[in-house]
Amino acid sequence: MAVHKTIEIMAESDKSWSDAAQKVVEEASKTVNGIKSIWVKDQTASVTDGKIDSFRVNCKVTFKVK
């Protein structure tokens, strides 16, 4: 039987929500091995002068525990 753990990580990008999600995976990969999936739980954006200036995601990252 495999054991998996889920952690929650937030990230921000000035490009897109997709880029913010990629940053979550890149950051988590620095200390976590065996990442299997991420779930984008929430997406938000910061707006200045009628334009989006940053994209934020709150993700749950699931990885296999040895």
Domain ranges for the chain: 8-59
Position 42 confidence tier, pLDDT thresholds 50, 70, 90: very high
Cα-flanking dihedrals φ and ψ of residue 20, to 5°? -65, -40
What is the model's pTM? 0.87
Q: What is the DSSP letter of 31?
A: T
Going by DSSP bridges, is the β-strand pair 35-48/51-65 parallel, antiparallel, or unpaired?
Answer: antiparallel
Q: Using one digit for the tens of pLDDT, what is the confidence trace for 6-38? A: 999 999 999 999 999 999 999 999 999 999 999
Q: Which helix (H) or strand (E) holds 25?
A: helix 17-29
- Does residue 29 contact residue 35 with C-beta atoms inside 8 Å? yes
- 8-59: what CATH class? alpha beta
